Homo-oligomer: A and B are copies of this chain.
Amino acid sequence: MDIKQSAALAKNASIKLSNCDSDLKNKALLEISKGLIARKEEILKANKEDLENGVKENLSDPILKRLKFDENKIEDVISGIESLINLPDPVGKTLAATELDEGLELYKISCPIGVIGVIFESRPDALVQISTLCLKSGNAALLKGGREAVNTNRILFDVIRTAAEAVGLPEGWLHLIETRDDVNEMLKMDKYIDLIIPRGSNEFVQYIMNNSKIPVMGHADGICHCYVDEAADLDMAVNIVVDSKTQYVSVCNATETLLVNEKIAADFLPKLKIELDKKNVELVGCEKTQNIIAVAAASEEDWKTEYLDYKLSIEVVDNLKAAIDHINNYSSGHTEAIITENSENAEEFMNLVDSANVFLNCSTRFSDGFRYGFGAEVGVSTSKLHARGPVGLDGLLIYKYKLFGKGHIVADYASKKKTFKHKKLI
């Protein structure tokens, strides 16, 4: 089947899927988790193959780590599916209701977006999470996973599709895409596909945006910042910066740049350096930083770089405003934290920093669908439209307006024979 056929089939299935009731969707989710258990050996074997190929191809250790899909990972995705089953159905909720006039009632009802194309990286668990989130939210999906995970993805896709269609989900609601050519074809299918969610580097997301008319919800770089204010508790600040930078370096909510108020820089930076040295974090800094601790010079490029590694850039700033300006200029709009005991400074920072997630006195690593309690996530959106920050079920929904009349026509209101009441019903 070519991509056009897949996309047309998905569109067709999406209309049916949008009207499947909660019981059927939950039954499908249960069947998927059973399938994952029943076909565990197949899955592990396929993943072993991918890992062996990865080693042959000299993939880096972090990539191999992400690629690994063992019994623990299978248990994790199954427990994820269980929590998804327990979440209320997000489709068909009445978001607003107004009596426009006697007998003329308007309802705003949540509904799936339709067909979603998701392009994600090497982790096979992402395939399970994304497709089950799409299922629960009533969306059809075309999935493109990492090339390294091709064998694992094929099996997982087959388990999910087979299980879901076996209990009665519409045929063609889920498709697996394997080549770059097919991705390029998919980007042209604006007649059938309603949303593209690309997860990857900034350049990759920009490429997608440049090459498609389909709306894009970008999940791009996280150039995240910690700002240590003059009124910070310095021990707390050390703790938070160390966690934000080193708890898991290869993820988008790890901190890449530290901003330090110059009033406390001389006290703070040496303390911090001791702890970061223990974790072998490479430091680069502005001139003022270099006057306090022995670090290499940071270049303009450093402020724009997502290291995803044991490396941190440091700038000493004059004041809170300079920190906010630096962030609004260089940040990717993902997550920024202020460490301060001054609530006015905290408020100013959190109001004026134009990022999806703005934090007080905690690690940037908290911005994540699981930690936020969403059950699961499609990713963390750095777009400013539709859904921002960690995207769970709610981000995969839109609404339609249903208006129930009894023969009402507009001419009666234009001629002032009738007037609108606009009485809120809920």
Contact = CB atoms under 8 A, between A and B. Distances in A.
Looking at A104, A356, A398, the one whose CB has the most chain B CB atoms below 10 A away is A398
Contact of A359 (B98, B354, B366, B403): B403
A360 B403 contact: yes
A384 interface: yes
Contact of A371 (B100, B194, B354, B400): B100
A328 interface: yes
Interface string A366-392: 110001110000000001111011100
Interface string A353-369: 01111111111011100
Given A216-B215, A357-B401, A405-B361, A366 B243 contact: no
Contacts of A62: none
A414 interface: yes
A74 interface: no
A98 to B, nearest CB: 5
Contacts of A216: 215
A407 B242 CA distance: 12
A399 interface: yes
A57 B215 CA distance: 38
A236 B242 CA distance: 70
Copies in the complex: 2
B362 A407 contact: yes
A362 B411 contact: no
Nearest to A346: B404
Given A213-B210, A405-B361, A409-B240, A371 B113 contact: no
A233 interface: yes
A373 B100 contact: yes
Interface of A: 15, 18-19, 98, 100, 104, 106, 113-114, 194-195, 206, 209-210, 213, 215-217, 233, 236, 239-240, 242-243, 247-248, 328, 350-352, 354-363, 365-367, 371-373, 383-386, 388-390, 398-411, 413-414, 420, 422
Given A100-B372, A361-B406, 4 more contacts: A98-B372, A215-B384, A248-B410, A355-B400
